[in-house]
């Protein structure tokens, strides 16, 4: 494990001399996006920087089975969540590994989001600092797993299902996640029932967006073709389990008060489109 003062010294040396031959910490990005996500994750772990993958790459890299052809897709960008305390060290390490910062965006938004580019491969690296916020806010600062490449399965699920205008790509990623991870309690490889219940029982807006998207998800699963009938049954069962967790979760006073207002008032934020300068 690299101590942080040593990491900063390596970064400074790299900037003066360029990456060393064969140095796995200070090299240019790999062309293979999943290989590159693994490489960056390993470098971050060696430097004791707590950051975990999300998005399509995060789900693909915690899969336990070959990805069915009907769910397979190309992965473009890499997405991370980094602990707030590690934001500065994260930036140093990423930039030492061949990523160019969007200086204007990062100076303005770096307390909650960072943007970097792998220009050689035409990719973007999008980093959320401490929380994932699109249509709803998911605080992750104390939820990043100690081990592994990706967020915990429940948090991967919540990052996908919180998007109001969910697209086909996100739905397919979510089906893959459900196929690989049962809905259970006290199992780090499962979609944690208690985590889901806490989030969805506290906030009616969260509950409404997620349960709406479960209906979209069920429709996609029914329509997938070709798709193994056994896998279809597993996916449908787990969608039903997530819906049951949402419906049976104890509801807070805030949840009940907001439910009385219902859909007459927007219950979500519209995410800002993030593009480079």
Q: Residue 214 is inside which H or E element, if any?
A: helix 204-223
Query: By C-alpha distance, which of 209, 241, 235, 240 is closest to 220?
Result: 235
pLDDT score at 271: 87
| 171, two tokens | 């739905």
Residue with tokens 């699109």: 134
Q: If pLDDT is split at 50, 70 and 90, which confidence band does 6 have? A: low
Domain coordinates in residue numbering, the chain: 4-264
Report pLDDT digits (tens) over 214-272.
Answer: 999 999 999 999 999 999 999 999 999 999 999 999 999 999 999 999 999 999 999 87
Cis peptide before 226 (omega within 30 of 0): yes
| pTM given for the model | 0.89
Q: What is the pLDDT of residues 12-57, one digit of tens each?
A: 444 443 443 334 445 799 999 999 999 999 999 999 999 999 999 9
SS3 122: coil
Token pair listed for 191:
């979609």
d(C-alpha 53, C-alpha 175), whole Å: 18
Tally the C-alpha atoms within 13 A of residue 98's C-alpha that lie toward its C-beta.
22
């Amino acid at each position: 494990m690299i101590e942080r003062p040593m990491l900063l010294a390596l970064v400074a040396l790299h900037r003066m001399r360029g990456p060393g031959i064969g140095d796995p910490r200070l090299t240019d990005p790999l062309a293979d996006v999943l290989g590159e996500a693994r490489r960056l994750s390993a470098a971050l772990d060696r430097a004791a920087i707590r950051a975990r993958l999300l998005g399509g790459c995060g789900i693909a890299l915690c899969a336990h089975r070959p990805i069915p052809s009907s769910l397979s897709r190309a992965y473009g960008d890499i997405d991370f969540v980094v602990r707030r305390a590690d934001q500065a060290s994260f930036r140093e390490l990423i930039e030492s590994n061949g990523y160019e910062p969007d200086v204007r965006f990062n100076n303005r938004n770096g307390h909650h989001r960072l943007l970097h580019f792998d220009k050689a491969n035409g990719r973007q690296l999008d980093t959320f600092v401490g929380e994932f916020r699109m249509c709803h806010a998911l605080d992750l600062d104390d939820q990043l797993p100690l081990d592994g490449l990706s967020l915990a399965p429940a948090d991967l699920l919540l990052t996908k299902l919180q998007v109001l205008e969910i697209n086909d790509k996100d739905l397919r990623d979510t089906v893959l996640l459900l196929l690989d991870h049962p809905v259970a309690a006290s199992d780090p490889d499962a979609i944690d029932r208690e985590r889901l219940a806490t989030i969805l029982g506290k906030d009616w807006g969260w509950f409404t967006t997620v349960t709406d998207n479960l209906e979209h998800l069920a429709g996609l699963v029914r329509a997938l073709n070709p798709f193994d009938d056994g896998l279809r049954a597993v996916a449908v069962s787990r969608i039903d389990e997530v819906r049951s967790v949402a419906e049976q979760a104890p509801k807070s006073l805030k949840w009940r008060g907001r439910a009385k207002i219902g859909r007459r008032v927007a219950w979500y934020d519209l995410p800002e489109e993030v593009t480079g300068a």
